[in-house]
Structure 1
């Protein structure tokens, strides 16, 4: 019996990955220093594997995103980037002025760059697998190269439908839906993969790990036919260890017949894979990769249960490999430095390093190692003790009634009441919420947390920042203002620190995209609000201006989906607990005179199960959780914000949330996302169009902003449109933000005048 782990977080013990990237982008280190630093991280990742597991993957450290790496490998580089010039082109595709669209990887909070296929003329540009295999071979380490499958790559890609040239290219891209187009591009992609596999074989490589999570989607018969053909051909070159994750495979019978050496199963996301193995058996000629250690949650595994499960699987399969259920990059590196966590909670946690130890322990316990057996029993006893229960909170959820999820006045009546109060112009302008978190802001926060700034000094500093940003927004001419969120490290972590039943870490960083990291909170118990969370800063900001200032909250579904949550009660019950806590905050803001409250839900779509058959249950409680926390007075305008998700498929559920205004990302997709609203019959809610990409340092000109707004006005009545950036501005610099917002406001004002004069 062997152990396998994959997807170990590349971030490093002290966020070395982030430092390397940002220093390279700023010109503080050259390309040689950058590559040397990344190679040190590669060695560190492999060393963690070597200490704990038998099978060691390579090709796991991407300089930005592994899907982007695959696109570059295939030479799928859109023509607007010109000839490939190494890292210059690579980072232009990732974060330049005309960067690729970004969206969530399946139902996770990891963002990948969406490959754009302009044509089917692909060739092998860069064999990342071979390069890294040789790198470790030279060190005397035998690794198994890992690659994203051609099938999953295509399912993540979009093809170019239409391109409109100009100072700001307008692209229409679409997922590949029809069989003929899919087969055309599949053949092109597969041809390059064959070259990759041939080169690996010639190098002496025997085995390869292939990640194919798209096999967990609901697939058509022709797609399965292509998958079978693909693996039949590729298996001629190398032994394939196939990994699927985030859900059960969509067709168990066709999956187990694939001509590969080993088949991987996620055995923690649900029970369907296990039930199919029990019901239909497992082929004698294949190895079973048992994903028994949860790669998405930080809780210690009940090792006793895992040992029994692996022993059971050994009766169905001749050979079993013990593995994690999905990539470990969804986890922080190690729980070891979290010395400020409650000791009882810390003892219940396992981050990526600890997950490797769990894999080793399960194997050792099965092989009869006495020390491992003692550890299994110790953990079993620990996890049997109840933790974090608050009966009053559970009683509140139990007593919820249907009317608690419905606003008292219909939208068409509410919006008239709101406009009478707000008196906003056509195409009102605003921002999503946050403004630049400068070095000064970060330093003050650190000094406050370290005790170098008193609470009074820190509060005075935050007030100064709020006053400054209110004046800047008024000077720019924005119609609806925000307080800037200078007191907030992260949109979820800020609320987690103020809510009962949720813990935060000091070192638990996880990569979201590029160099962007966040620390997911840990929901360990019943959630409640001990005291107001945002009232002081929002009301102070409102006292400084006659213009409306938005109250800024993070929604219950996003707090839940961007946290590690407890697994002993249903997920929807946790969402309702959070929603009730947020509702108390909404009432306090209303009573303090705040007329617009934004409840952000960027994770609303990503939490949906992979299979659409499971959507009705998820969206039922997700919609209800939002409606519960937003049950405001009819005069209070409720906004929400969503970004970097595929909206077309879930627009009906989004509409059911019953907000008054939604703001969306529309810049990287060049307005393509608007088709979701165009095709929805009866869309009548106000919508804020994200007119420029805040993840790029490029300052948008008025022409590029105008193009997106004109595209929007072809789709929706101008009376419904707001104008805003596509996301918060915390990662940008003031010298980028001010001119960008000035261009945005001037563009909106010019359009207003033109529309009024018509």
Structure 2
């Protein structure tokens, strides 16, 4: 029988999000939250009922890395005075004076994980209550549970060592705790299947731990579990070679994003291990081409006996929306081309039936339907656009007319901002009233006049507030935007949108990625109206706010019938047109956010240069149209910059803002080390936490920044956009930011 790596947990209608936010607001009890989670798990398992096993412990109230840290007792010192959910959510969101743990992207996805903090000096206390409860729940409902557990190597490698402990000593310390956790799990059942998720192996050989893989998994296998080690997002041929020589029962591989895994088939075959073949896409939403999947399986089964192959998703379905069942407004043809998590389970069942039994009366009709839909998509006239294709054939400008050293002088003269200029990243709180205004307009329950009156009122208040507290460079607050990518996708040709295609980003935060199904173009201006309106309200500079082409690409579900690089170039041409319109409308600073630039990086080093080349080119296609005196800003979210600092330089943005608040000035040091000459806005407080930073905290943070870069090079801003925060958090935080900056200026 087939199996999936994991299932989305946020709920078909974001039930978990609503329960979490109600709990955090003290509107429901812990018992109510637990009941909501229990109901979701039961529903999600019901979709897996035809599989031999259902996934247990893939569900989380916030994040699986956080779950494992909590279960191991890997609790940072500052949180040890708390317990239970107060402790758990405190690590994720911050609590009282205790700053939250860092968050960063889960490999090259838009999902964020909470970064555990480890030391060789830690003493761990094991707590298996979560797994124990979920395992018993699944058993009571008549299912056979498969325990999903982040692998030891992935957990330690993705964690942060908080002192001078060596990786070796930390690894051994955590390994002992991890093994105790496994020993405790033995009490659950006499026959337990554990899926150890080791996506870190997809990064390639790591000298810190590769010599330990065989021994560790041999020790785990000896504990009596049925043991699967699964990797995803890329090939893991080096680790597969080692695992094939170990005593584990099965190996899970991603054959869609790691086609080189095919070279490991003979090795696996010789080992006699079961292959869990990831052939249904866990990261994108296009209907499976069953004929193509069968061809792939034919290659696999030419090396490995069919009875040793179990079909699987390429990775957890966490990265896809829940179901198409709630989609009522999308064009029927486009909707037929899509497959969300629930449908992917059905595809997996159909594929397994065809693979094991061939075409027969029980599967023939579904097979024909799949073939017809794929043929329809391939032949559709809606996908191509001759004008777009002709544009791409022409030489494309990719460099600014004047070098940075010269144009920054022009910009300082034109813009006249002070030392340590203060600004925000762009968005302001998305209040319930604002969301209701947009929804009512979308549903045609209010007129365009009423809608625009409401938007203007919000912008008026945003601009007035920013002027009142003394910010130097203002924003309009983005009240017209539902999402930084969706907003632009709605105005570009080639996109379609779901009503309920929500995907978890972190905690209760969900995004609804646009779907790029055809050639992309910009029919008309997208941001001019509200940017110029905001600018008309003030003599201070108001930034124009755009999302960059690479981020639009990486935060969308992208068509899979042409290269991603080509889709990105199409988007870049549209953004270039928008920048030109903005600067001609006297918008002097334009921010082109590339929050997801780093996110798109391939996991394998050998593939990075190709990605960097076209991603960099696309950003520069967008921005090279800017006049020398037009200042281009960009913003990047959670990233390690050490390995991409040269690419950041090559972006040639005049100002880059980055998220650094949770990591002090560590991320910033690389900018100084390489002699980065452009201007930088490191975040001085964390917007992902509801905590209000004091003026003293921000002063301290700015002083840390000044230890790394000169004041002439620094901007002062929050970590990221403020749309997810409440006004009662934003107003005092920004006031403190401005006051702290003034203090530094006066005392520098």
The verdict on a shared fold, with TM-score over 0.5 as the criterion, is yes
Distance 1:250 1:364, change over 3 A: closer
Question: Contact (CA 8 Å) 2:12, 2:322: kept in 1 or not?
Answer: yes
1:738 equivalent in alignment to 2:736: no
In structure 2, the residue matched to 1:400 is 395
Question: Contact (CA 8 Å) 2:213, 2:242: kept in 1 or not?
Answer: no
Q: Which moved more, 1:229-238 or 1:195-204?
A: 195-204
In structure 1, the residue matched to 2:100 is 99
In structure 1, the residue matched to 2:633 is 639
In structure 2, the residue matched to 1:152 is 154
Matched position secondary structure for 1:283: helix
Deviation at 1:250, TM superposition (A): 4.4
Question: Contact (CA 8 Å) 1:619, 1:653: kept in 2 or not?
Answer: yes
1:475 equivalent in alignment to 2:468: yes
Deviation at 1:227, TM superposition (A): 1.2
- Alignment deviations for residues 380-428 of structure 1 (CA, whole Å, 9 cap, x no partner): 2332333411011012112134xx1111100000100111110000000
Question: Contact (CA 8 Å) 2:104, 2:112: kept in 1 or not?
Answer: yes
RMSD between superposed Cα atoms in Å: 1.5
Could you tell me how far apart the structure 1 residues matched to 2:71 and 2:395 are?
Answer: 53
Could you tell me how far apart the structure 1 residues matched to 2:709 and 2:655 are?
Answer: 14
- Partner residue of 1:380 out of 353, 371, 379: 371
Matched position secondary structure for 1:715: coil
Distance 1:472 1:223, change over 3 A: same
1:688 equivalent in alignment to 2:681: yes
In structure 2, the residue matched to 1:183 is 168
- Alignment deviations for residues 673-730 of structure 1 (CA, whole Å, 9 cap, x no partner): 11221322x2101001211111111110011111111111111111000000101111
In structure 1, the residue matched to 2:253 is 265
Could you tell me how far apart the structure 1 residues matched to 2:636 and 2:339 are?
Answer: 31
In structure 1, the residue matched to 2:163 is 161
Could you tell me how far apart the structure 1 residues matched to 2:707 and 2:512 are?
Answer: 40
Could you tell me how far apart the structure 1 residues matched to 2:13 and 2:320 are?
Answer: 14
Matched position secondary structure for 2:228: strand
Could you tell me how far apart the structure 1 residues matched to 2:167 and 2:59 are?
Answer: 29
In structure 2, the residue matched to 1:232 is 218
Deviation at 1:338, TM superposition (A): 1.4
In structure 1, the residue matched to 2:323 is 334
Could you tell me how far apart the structure 2 residues matched to 1:198 and 1:81 are?
Answer: 26
1:291 equivalent in alignment to 2:290: no
1:109 equivalent in alignment to 2:110: yes
Deviation at 1:79, TM superposition (A): 0.4
Deviation at 1:499, TM superposition (A): 0.3
In structure 1, the residue matched to 2:3 is 4
In structure 1, the residue matched to 2:498 is 505
Could you tell me how far apart the structure 2 residues matched to 1:400 and 1:7 are?
Answer: 45
Deviation at 1:84, TM superposition (A): 4.5
- Partner residue of 2:334 out of 345, 354, 362: 345
Deviation at 1:284, TM superposition (A): 4.7
Could you tell me how far apart the structure 1 residues matched to 2:11 and 2:446 are?
Answer: 30
Question: Contact (CA 8 Å) 1:124, 1:195: kept in 2 or not?
Answer: no
- Partner residue of 1:356 out of 345, 354, 358: 345
Could you tell me how far apart the structure 2 residues matched to 1:466 and 1:635 are?
Answer: 26
In structure 1, the residue matched to 2:694 is 701
Question: Contact (CA 8 Å) 1:144, 1:209: kept in 2 or not?
Answer: yes
Question: Contact (CA 8 Å) 2:7, 2:55: kept in 1 or not?
Answer: no
In structure 2, the residue matched to 1:365 is 354
Question: Contact (CA 8 Å) 1:284, 1:317: kept in 2 or not?
Answer: no
Deviation at 1:256, TM superposition (A): 2.6
Question: Contact (CA 8 Å) 2:244, 2:271: kept in 1 or not?
Answer: no
In structure 2, the residue matched to 1:201 is 186
Could you tell me how far apart the structure 2 residues matched to 1:281 and 1:666 are?
Answer: 43
Deviation at 1:372, TM superposition (A): 1.9
1:668 equivalent in alignment to 2:689: no
In structure 2, the residue matched to 1:620 is 613
In structure 2, the residue matched to 1:605 is 598
Question: Contact (CA 8 Å) 1:129, 1:146: kept in 2 or not?
Answer: no
Deviation at 1:635, TM superposition (A): 0.6
Could you tell me how far apart the structure 2 residues matched to 1:314 and 1:206 are?
Answer: 27
Question: Contact (CA 8 Å) 1:56, 1:144: kept in 2 or not?
Answer: yes
In structure 1, the residue matched to 2:288 is 301
Matched position secondary structure for 1:641: strand
Structure 1: which 5+ runs fail to align?
Answer: 163-179
Question: Contact (CA 8 Å) 1:263, 1:289: kept in 2 or not?
Answer: yes
Question: Contact (CA 8 Å) 1:335, 1:354: kept in 2 or not?
Answer: yes
- Alignment deviations for residues 649-677 of structure 1 (CA, whole Å, 9 cap, x no partner): 21111111000000111111122211221
TM-score normalized by the length of structure 1:
0.94
Could you tell me how far apart the structure 1 residues matched to 2:85 and 2:187 are?
Answer: 27
- Alignment deviations for residues 59-117 of structure 1 (CA, whole Å, 9 cap, x no partner): 12111110001111111111011234110111110101500001000110000011111
- Alignment deviations for residues 151-204 of structure 1 (CA, whole Å, 9 cap, x no partner): 000111011137xxxxxxxxxxxxxxxxx9222112111112222222222332
- Partner residue of 1:88 out of 86, 105, 127: 86
1:629 equivalent in alignment to 2:627: no
1:40 equivalent in alignment to 2:39: yes
In structure 2, the residue matched to 1:210 is 196
- Partner residue of 2:647 out of 653, 656, 659: 653
- Partner residue of 1:135 out of 119, 134, 137: 137
Matched position secondary structure for 2:11: coil
Q: Which moved more, 1:20-29 or 1:93-102?
A: 93-102
In structure 2, the residue matched to 1:277 is 265
Matched position secondary structure for 1:321: strand
Could you tell me how far apart the structure 2 residues matched to 1:275 and 1:239 are?
Answer: 25
TM-score normalized by the length of structure 2:
0.96
Q: Which moved more, 1:201-210 or 1:85-94?
A: 201-210
1:464 equivalent in alignment to 2:452: no
Structure 2: which 5+ runs fail to align?
Answer: none
Could you tell me how far apart the structure 1 residues matched to 2:70 and 2:666 are?
Answer: 24
Within 5 Å, which residues of 2 pair with 1:540-555? 540-555=533-548
1:488 equivalent in alignment to 2:484: no
Question: Contact (CA 8 Å) 2:195, 2:229: kept in 1 or not?
Answer: yes
Matched position secondary structure for 1:649: coil
1:220 equivalent in alignment to 2:206: yes
Could you tell me how far apart the structure 1 residues matched to 2:682 and 2:111 are?
Answer: 23
Q: Which moved more, 1:370-379 or 1:655-664?
A: 370-379
Matched position secondary structure for 2:662: coil
Aligned positions, number? 732
In structure 2, the residue matched to 1:60 is 58
Q: Which moved more, 1:562-571 or 1:194-203?
A: 194-203
Could you tell me how far apart the structure 1 residues matched to 2:337 and 2:566 are?
Answer: 21
Distance 1:40 1:281, change over 3 A: closer
1:579 equivalent in alignment to 2:572: yes
Question: Contact (CA 8 Å) 2:522, 2:574: kept in 1 or not?
Answer: yes
Question: Contact (CA 8 Å) 2:191, 2:226: kept in 1 or not?
Answer: no
